[in-house]
Amino acid sequence: MAKFARPLAVPFPPENPYSPDKAELGRKLFFDPLMSASGTISCATCHHPRLAWGDGLPRAIGEARTPLPFRSPTMLGAAWMEAFGWDGKFPTLESVAFTPLSAAANMGRNEQELLRDIAKNAAYRADFDRVFPGEGVSRATVERALATYERTIVPAPAPFDRWIAGDEAAIPDAAKRGFDLFTGRAKCSECHATWRFTDDSFHDIGTGGDNDLGRGRLFPKSQALQHAFKVPSLRDVARRAPYMHDGSLPTLEAVIALYDRGGLARPSRSEHIQPLELNDQERGDLIAFLQTLTGDAARASSPIIPAR
């Protein structure tokens, strides 16, 4: 059980170390609708603290008011992630920000206009001068501030954590049986490993259409990476419906049913995905276990946004 134990500290990269002022500046930017072209949506629109840092939609909705290709991923545990995006195209958290910010269908912001608007705000200008002396407002400092705040978004302790710490009464017997299945015959923990219940790898689990190439778009010569998407964390998973990269499965029951039947059979499908032949009790036990990964709901405490 040691591999599922929560870490003691949040990791921050040496090139972008933590400071309280930097995290608070990133928090203001994260919740500020100034970051969108219309001034009506913010990063928190798609990554809302009361929705387990997702948005509860099958696929994200941006400035174009039409569904984007993928579901909004949760920000929970971002500090430990090894690659970002459903296809892993972003190597660092810092490298993510300006793609959704500048995409016309997402937040639709022109980069230079956004930096200009942040810099002409006296309160923001003072914040950036204090946090980044001699650097001020730039793409790099906006990226570093946002990433620092995002690394502070950590899953809250859940009943499962109390159970593995020794409290046998923390979860029901059905969940304990579900955990045995999860780590045993069902082989879920082959990919949903570590305390976040993901190893950040990419697999085709037999879902999605022919045009859903996932990581295969980045590695077209790799058969194994065709239709392969990132293994998501299962922390707070019971709060994060619908599921899969495209929001195609509405409930945890539907997710278990997919794994039970083995998904679409195709050359790229992961070797881990095979029919499980679970009975009704086993399916219920797995869901009971997944529900123990839900921590206390985050408080939706928005920061004071600098006045325009």
Task: Mark residue 85 as left, alpha or beta (left: phi above 0; alpha: psi -120 to 50; beta: remaining).
Answer: left
pLDDT at 208: 85
- Tens of pLDDT, residue by residue over 112-155, are 999 999 999 999 999 999 999 999 999 999 999 999 999 999 99
Q: Which of 146, 116, 125 is nearest to 27 (CA)?
A: 146
What's the rounded Cα separation, in Å, for the pair 102 and 21? 25
pLDDT above 70 covers a percentage of the chain that reads 99
Inform me whether the pLDDT recorded for 296 exceeds 90. no
- DSSP letter for 67, please: B
Question: Using the 8-state DSSP alphabet, how is residue 195 labeled?
Answer: T
Task: Return the closest-CA partner of residue 196 out of 152, 238, 239, 234.
Answer: 234
Question: Is the distance from CB of 43 to CB of 203 less than 8 angstroms?
Answer: no
Chain position carrying tokens 């949040």: 10
Cα(197)–Cα(79) distance, rounded to whole angstroms? 14
Which tens digits make up the pLDDT trace of 198-219?
999 999 999 988 899 999 999 9
- Under a CB-based contact definition with an 8 Å cutoff, are residues 255 and 249 in contact? yes
Give the distance, in angstroms, between the CA of residue 282 and the centroid of all CA atoms in the same chain. Answer: 27
- Against a cut of 0.85, is the pTM above it? yes
Q: What is the mean pLDDT of residues 94-98?
A: 98
- Residue 27: C-alpha distances to residues 22, 143, 201 (Å): 9, 12, 28
Specify the 3-state DSSP secondary structure of 90: strand
Element containing residue 203 per DSSP (H, E): strand 202-203
Q: For each of the domains in the chain, give its residue range(s) and CATH number, in order of start.
A: 8-151 (1.10.760.10), 159-291 (1.10.760.10)
Average pLDDT over the chain reads 95
Tokens of 248: 């195609």
